[in-house]
Amino acid sequence: MSSESDTADEAVRGTCDDASICKRFAVSVGYWKDPYMQYFVRQAKERKAPEINRGYYARVQGVSQLLCAFLKKTECNCQIIKLGAGLDTTFWRLKDENLLPKKYFEVDFPAIVSRKLHNIKSKPPLSKPIMETHNGDSLLIDAYSLDSARYSILGADLRNLKDMEEKLKKVGMDPQLPTLLVAECVLVYMSPEKSASLLKWAGDTFPTAMFVNYEQMDRLLSNGWEAADAWDMIRVYSSLPQNDVARIEKLEFLDERELLEQLLLHYCISWGTKDSLHLGLAEITF
């Protein structure tokens, strides 16, 4: 790889910190509960603007609603693959809520995975829940991957599909199981050709699946998905439980609502489904 693309990849990895710091800050103000984020990132030194916090609130709650709907439809008899997961803490939340899928996989660049694993190894509130869900053979953990009974974290490049698929298969990914793939602010950092190949790979590999994507695009139908929909974040925000929206709107004074609306309008959550088991996945919406 050229040093130019090395530098570009390093900048992409840096976005993991931005996302985690913003999430940590919003959690500290009370937008949503996440007792695990504190073990991955230090509290931000400066406050984040209220519209940024509300934007993250809509993003996290929106993705979470579709994820929970998928778990409900499949009765947790499924697998989840979080692409470009960064320091995401969803595994721990699902465990606390007794909503774990059969297996939860995460993929990110090896350098990010290695940081995540370092935190997991050194912080019992992170490692204990993984041990509690682990049974059978000893848990495998090295610098760039973790494999336990219910949770695998893999260092791989989403642009190298063959290598990623091999790694996922090695840790028990089952293409026949209903599969939820989630990419939260990830595809935008790949070239259009590479992100289209990833969508197509997912569409070709899993006969019963849903792909949830948070950002500014919707190319699911042209890449092998049977049904797809996209909602801009204003629509998502106004469809979230309004008692909770009223609660978070009291947390901080928002000077200019137009700023929040502009920000929300720039992003969307799109999702696509394939449903060979006729589970009714195309019915999932907000």
Ligand X SMILES: C[S@@+](CC[C@H](N)C(=O)[O-])C[C@H]1O[C@@H](n2cnc3c(N)ncnc32)[C@H](O)[C@@H]1O
Residue 168 within binding range of ligand X, rule CB under 6 A: no
Binding mask 227-266 for ligand X (x = CB under 6 A): ----------------------------------------
Residue 51 within binding range of ligand X, rule CB under 6 A: no
Dihedral class, residue 59 (left if φ above 0, else alpha if ψ from -120 to 50, else beta): alpha
Q: How many angstroms separate the CA atoms of 212 and 184, rounded?
A: 8
Amino acid identity, position 171: V
Extended strands (E) in 197-259: 208-215, 227-232
Scanning residues 81 to 100, which ones bind ligand X (CB under 6 A)?
84-86, 88
Tell me how far, at minimum, the Cβ of 204 lies from ligand X, in Å.
19
Closest of 65, 276, 285 to residue 178, by C-alpha: 276
Which of 34, 108, 215, 252 lies at the binding interface for ligand X (CB under 6 A)?
108
Q: How many residues bind ligand X, per CB under 6 A?
A: 20
Q: Could you tell me which stretch among 7-15, 115-123, 126-134, 200-208 binds ligand X (CB under 6 A)?
A: 7-15
Residue with tokens 């509960």: 33
Measured from the Cβ of residue 49, the count of other Cβ atoms closer than 10 Å reads 15
Q: Could you tell me which stretch among 13-21, 97-105, 124-132, 223-231 binds ligand X (CB under 6 A)?
A: 13-21
Binding mask 184-203 for ligand X (x = CB under 6 A): xxx--xx-------------
Q: Could you tell me which stretch among 67-75, 143-151, 178-186, 218-226 binds ligand X (CB under 6 A)?
A: 178-186
Closest of 201, 120, 121, 124 to residue 160, by C-alpha: 201
Task: Please identify, using beta-carbon distances, which residue of 167 and 274 lies nearer to ligand X.
Answer: 167
Dihedral class, residue 182 (left if φ above 0, else alpha if ψ from -120 to 50, else beta): beta
Using DSSP bridges, classify how beta strands 227-232 and 268-275 pair: parallel, antiparallel or unpaired: antiparallel
Binding site for ligand X (CB under 6 A): 12-13, 15-16, 19, 84-86, 88, 108-109, 112, 157-159, 184-186, 189-190
